[in-house]
Amino acid sequence: MTHSSVFHRDLASDLPVVVSGDGNYLIDDQGRRYLDACGGAAVSCLGHDNVKVREAIKSQVDQLAFAHTGSFTNKPAEDLASFLVDRAPKGTGAGRVMYLGSGSEAMEAALKLARQYCVEKGEPERHKIIARKPSYHGNTLGALATGGHAGRRAPFAPLLIEVNHIDAPYPYRMQHDGENETDFGYRMADLLDAEIARLGGETVMAFVAEPVVGASLGTQPAPKGYWARVREICDKHGVLLIADEVMSGMGRTGTTYALEQEGIAADITTMAKGLGAGFQPIAAVLAAEKVVNVIKDGSGKLWNGHTYMSHAIATAGALAVQHVIEEDNLLDNVIKRGAQLESGLREAFKDHPHVGDIRGRGLFWTIEMVENRDTKAPFDPAQGVAMQIGAAAKARGVMTYPSQGCIDGKNGDHVLLAPSYTSTEAEIDLIVETLKAAVS
C-alpha cells in the first residue's frame, strides 16, 4: 500500500485479482466485494463503472486515439483545457494547460516550466526550490527530491536535486497552546519568508506545496491565513507559487481546486487523480496567464515534451469525468457526504484512547493513531498499526489508505479516506462502522 509497488507477476501473487467494478465497489475473482473508501490514492472519485465516462471513451476510441502532439492538437484536449481554465481560481487569468501521464510527471513539468519562466523573464539566477516537510510530490527523481519524506528520499539521496524544505503546518503537533489558528497560520507561512531570505531572494525560483496535504501527513488543510500570507511572500520576492493539486484537486475538497477556498491563485497548478478518476491515466499542469505571457513573448514553445501528451482518449475520458462531476452536481454531494463522514468519525472515535486527531476537508479525511492520546506519543512504527487497520478493514470489505511515519518515522500512523463523490449515505455509514470495527 501507500505508493509502494510490486513486480508483476511473482511479487504480486498474494494480492486479490480484481476483475470488475460495480458502483463504488470492486469485485475480485473470488466474487468478494470491496467498498472503495479511498479510491486507491484518492483517484476513483466516480467509482468504478461510470457509464457516461465509459461511453465517452468508447466513442473517442472509434474516432481517434492518438496523433503526434508536435504536429496536431485535438478537440478533447482543447475542450478539457478550456474547462480547466474556466474553473481555475480567480487570479489565474487566461491560463494554458499541458497534459502529462501521471502526477509525478506533472510535478516534473511544473518545475521545468518554472525554470523556463525565470530564464525567459531574464532571471536565470533563479533556480532554487523551497518545498515542505512532510509532503509527497511523486516518485520520479525531481518530484521525489521535492517531496519532504526523509525515508523515501534516503535510498536515492545522491541522485536528487537540491530542494530546501520548511515545515508544513500540522496543527495537531505544532500549534502552540493558546495560539489561535490565524496566528499559527501566519507563523507557519513566515517560515517561507525566512527561508527565502536565508537562500537569497533573487536566487529562489519556486515554492511548492499541496493546498491540502494528502498522502504524507494524512489529509491536512492549512490553517486560516496561511495561504494568503504565502501568496504575499511569494509576490514580495518574485517567487513562483506551484500548487500541487494532484490529490486535492478536481473536487476532492468540495471545490474544483482546493486553493479556490483560500481566495488565492497559484502561478502553476498540477492535477491528476480526480482528473481522469482512474478511467484514464492523465495529469495536467495549469499555467497562469502571468507565466503564459512570459513564454509567449519569449521562445513561444514549452521546453518539455513527452510522446503521449494530449492523448485524445485520455483527454476525452477526463473531460467526461469533469462533465459528470458538474452535471450531476457531485460537489454538493462531496460537501454533504463529507460532513456526514466527518461527524461519523468524530462520534465513532470521540473517546477512543488511540485516535489522536481527525482532520480533513470535503470527502478527504484522516484519523491519526497514537499510543497515548494525552501525550500524543505515536506507536512504535515496527507495530505497523495503520497497516493493520487497513488490513482489518479490507478483510471486512472496505478499502482504506493507511500510511505511517512520515516525519522521520516519528509521527505515527494515519488512515486516509477518500470515498467516491457518488457515495451514498448508507455507504458512508458503512465506511465509518467498518473503520470503527477495524480500529477496535
3-state secondary structure of 161: coil
Our CB check for ligand PLP shows the closer of 102 and 434 to be 102
Phi, psi angle pair for 402, to nearest 5°: -85, 150
Considering only 76, 134, 138, 169, the residue that binds ligand PLP (CB under 6 A) is 138
For residue 375, how many other CB atoms are within 10 A of its CB?
Answer: 9
Site string for ligand PLP, 50-89 (x = CB under 6 A): ----------------------------------------
Q: Which of 36, 108, 193, 244 binds ligand PLP (CB under 6 A)?
A: 244
Q: Which three cell numbers stand for residue 370?
A: 497514537
- Which CB, 3 or 306, lies closer to ligand PLP? 3
Q: Does 272 bind ligand PLP (CB under 6 A)?
A: yes
**CB of 136: closest distance to ligand PLP in angstroms?**
5
> CA 384: distance to chain centroid?
24
Q: Which of 136, 207, 364, 365 binds ligand PLP (CB under 6 A)?
A: 136
Q: Whole-angstrom Cα distance, residue 209 to residue 242?
A: 7
Q: Using CB under 6 A, which of the segments 190-198, 207-215, 260-268, 406-414 binds ligand PLP?
A: 207-215
What's the grid cell of residue 236? 514580495
State the nearest-atom distance from the C-beta of 319 to ligand PLP, in Å: 19
Instruction: Mark the segment that binds ligand PLP (CB under 6 A) among 96-104, 179-187, 308-316, 327-335.
Output: 96-104
How many whole angstroms separate alpha carbon 403 and alpha carbon 390? 9
34 near ligand PLP, judged by CB under 6 A: no
Is 107 near ligand PLP (CB under 6 A)? yes
Regarding 37 and contact with ligand PLP (CB under 6 A), the answer is no
Nearest Cα residue to 244 out of 221, 225, 266, 276: 266
Set of cell numbers at residue 114: 518554472
| Shortest distance, position 8 Cβ to ligand PLP, whole Å | 17
- Check if the beta carbon of residue 198 is closer than 8 Å to that of residue 178: no
The answer to whether residue 247 forms part of the interface with ligand PLP (CB under 6 A) is yes
Say if CB 255 and CB 361 are below 8 A apart: no
What's the min distance (Å) between Cβ of 29 and ligand PLP?
A: 26
Min separation Cβ 12 and ligand PLP, Å: 18
Binding flag, residue 211, ligand PLP (CB under 6 A):
no
Residues 62, 74: Cα–Cα separation, whole Å: 14
CB neighbourhood size of 357 (10 A)? 20
- Residue 246 makes contact with ligand PLP by CB under 6 A: yes
Separation between Cα atoms, residue 36 and residue 419, nearest integer Å: 7
Question: Which helix H or strand E contains 75, and what residues bound it?
Answer: helix 75-86
Check residue 287 for interaction with ligand PLP (CB under 6 A).
Answer: no
Residue whose Cβ sits closest to ligand PLP? 103
Of 244, 319, 241, 262, residue with least CA distance to 90: 262
Residues that bind ligand PLP (CB under 6 A): 3, 41, 102-104, 107, 136-139, 210, 214-215, 244, 246-247, 272
